[in-house]
Structure 1
Amino acid sequence: MFKIYQHTENNKEYIVLESKNKQAYASICLDEGARVKDLVLNGKSIIKEQSNFDYEDSYASSILFPFVSRLKEGSYSFNYDSYELHKNDKGINALHGLVYNKKFELFEPEEYQHKCSATFNYYEQKPPKGYPFKYFLSITYTLFKDDFQIAITVKNIDSKSFPFTLGWHPYFNCNDFSKAYLHFKSSKKIVFDNNLITEAIEDFIIDKKFSLESKQLDDCFILNEQGVDFITSEYHLKLTSDALENYLQLYTPKNKPIIAIEPMTGISDSFNNKIGLQVLEPNKTYAVNFRIEMIQ
């Protein structure tokens, strides 16, 4: 039987989803945008909080909305109006959206014999001047023994349309990069400037194993297929998204046994370059599903 319970740690509230034997486990922080703090599948630690890597700097497992990655100088135009957001990226750009530090509410936890799920909701009723749109964001996490699913729904509860992209920023454990690799298919790579703002798109063919040995990554690719395989000496994961357009951001922090493998519906500075950008009309809803599957 799977179960769900709540606990407090360092003055923050967490919701825990776990199996009876703890071979599957997920800890969700309500105070930090309903992010996944820890994840265990089939007895393997997949996501784990890192020492000396504070959430304020890492944005580990944050949901990225209403924009992914960076927004150049925090500025953009939409429907002939100009807006400016807080530049939380060293005072240069806006970074990783607006919900990573919001307080979410638990809704409808469900416990079953072979799985459990919990939904986390956030209503934006007092939006900032730089993004003056009201929205409802709902995240449902479903935990199985060897499978973790994330269903994200965005609803426009405003009287006007708004632009958006959406993504997820997990870091996956990797104790030995010399034996780790990714497998995904792409023919296009994003070219960044010195501040990691999109400059261009170049041809870059990947259709075989992408070795992670000795690589320092902060790169983005346009995926030709929805799936990304991550193979380490400890486990093999498949990460998928059902979005119509799929982009993959890879990032390896220095001297950390982790790698960010980020599924996204847009890229850096999408509000300006329009790549992957979508517009949600009043009372309309957008949904995307991410999945992590342990491959035996």
Structure 2
Amino acid sequence: GKTYHMGQHGFARDAQFTVEEQDDKHIVFLLTSNEDTKKMYPFDFELRVTYTLINNLLSEHFTVTNTDTKEMIFGIGGHPGFNLPTDNGLTKNDYYFKFDPSMDHVKIPLKAPYLDWDNRSLLATDSMFEISDELFKDDAWVFELKQPNKISIRTDKSDYHINVKMENAPFVGLWSQYPKSGNYICVEPWWGIADTLDSDGQLEHKRGMNHIAPKEVWENGFTIAFHDKAK
């Protein structure tokens, strides 16, 4: 019965987290509901984001605790971006995405800032497809995932590659800026998505959301493997 407003990608991205734990290999950031979050989001919660680094493997883990007395509805996701080395004559177009498992995936068209859910389609992602600025002229590529997935950023001109592994993320976004150009690419695991074109603005009706009972804890995350050995 009340309207709340927040910016693109939600409020946590702009919030001040505290460091709850830290050592040489991991760090835990904590965000707790407060007067500022309550202006945008009507639930009491604790959000922990844990980064763990083991050799060339980085894990990002989300822990959401419902500290409210009512069911909590939320979406969360990552927005990692990766530099594409362009030395030794390489360009952005020399890189490509590779999906594992090698199979077709459901693509959800984006009519920014909304998703066109009714026109989602099966897209061939069983082979590599080239990264370019023009690939993102209609904004992000959004896929619905049905099983564990690994998305790699690769080039045939060096051993440089990055693997983003998602065990159970229901969605992933691939993005780079357009029309401005930058030598980076984003692979974004999501447990929640933007509003669809037919959205009625009611949070309990929003697609892709997570629902947890009072005192319940929800956990998920993804890993990133870096390989940077030149040929």
TM-score range, shorter chain: 0.7 to 0.9
- Bigger fraction of residues in strand: 1
* Structure-2 change in CA distance of 1:155 and 1:272 (3 Å): closer
Number of the residue aligned with 1:210? 129
Number of the residue aligned with 1:119? 28
* Structure-2 change in CA distance of 1:268 and 1:251 (3 Å): same
Number of the residue aligned with 1:263? 189
* Cα separation, 1, equivalents of 2:114 and 2:162: 29
Number of the residue aligned with 2:10? 97
* Cα separation, 1, equivalents of 2:106 and 2:69: 37
Residue identity in the other structure for 1:226: N
* Cα separation, 1, equivalents of 2:104 and 2:213: 31
* Cα separation, 1, equivalents of 2:33 and 2:21: 20
Number of the residue aligned with 1:75? none
Q: Which runs of 4+ in 1 moved over 6 A?
A: none
Q: Secondary structure at the match of 1:256?
A: coil
Task: Give the drift of 1:273.
Answer: 6.2
Structure 1 position 228 matched with structure 2 position 151: yes
CA deviation string 1:31-59 (max 9, x = no partner): xxxxxxxxxxxxxxxxxxxxxxxxxxxxx
* Cα separation, 2, equivalents of 1:251 and 1:272: 28
Structure 1 position 136 matched with structure 2 position 50: no
Structure 1 position 179 matched with structure 2 position 94: yes
Count of residues in Structure 1 that have an aligned counterpart in Structure 2 = 203
Task: Give the drift of 1:143.
Answer: 1.4
Q: 1:164 aligns with which of 74, 90, 99?
A: 74
Q: Is the 8 A contact 1:197 1:269 kept in 2?
A: yes
Number of the residue aligned with 2:113? 196
* Structure-2 change in CA distance of 1:205 and 1:82 (3 Å): farther
* Structure-2 change in CA distance of 1:234 and 1:202 (3 Å): same
* Cα separation, 2, equivalents of 1:289 and 1:186: 23
Structure ranking higher on relative contact order (CA contacts 8 Å, 6+ apart): 2
Structure 1 position 240 matched with structure 2 position 198: no
Q: Is the 8 A contact 2:133 2:181 kept in 1?
A: no
TM-score, with structure 1 as normaliser: 0.63
Seq. identity, %: 25
TM-score, with structure 2 as normaliser: 0.79
* Cα separation, 2, equivalents of 1:276 and 1:166: 10
Task: Give the drift of 1:82.
Answer: 4.7
Q: Secondary structure at the match of 1:268?
A: coil
Q: Is the 8 A contact 1:104 1:121 kept in 2?
A: yes
CA deviation string 1:68-97 (max 9, x = no partner): xxxxxxxxxxxxx453313x3xxxxxx101
Q: Is the 8 A contact 1:186 1:223 kept in 2?
A: no
* Cα separation, 1, equivalents of 2:165 and 2:206: 23
Q: Secondary structure at the match of 1:120?
A: strand
* Cα separation, 1, equivalents of 2:59 and 2:167: 12
Task: Give the drift of 1:234.
Answer: 6.1
Number of the residue aligned with 1:291? 223
* Cα separation, 2, equivalents of 1:187 and 1:141: 29
Q: Is the 8 A contact 1:125 1:135 kept in 2?
A: no
* Cα separation, 1, equivalents of 2:205 and 2:113: 14
Residue identity in the other structure for 1:189: K
* Structure-2 change in CA distance of 1:130 and 1:123 (3 Å): closer
| Coordinate RMSD, CA, aligned | 2.1
Q: Is the 8 A contact 2:96 2:130 kept in 1?
A: yes
* Structure-2 change in CA distance of 1:292 and 1:134 (3 Å): same
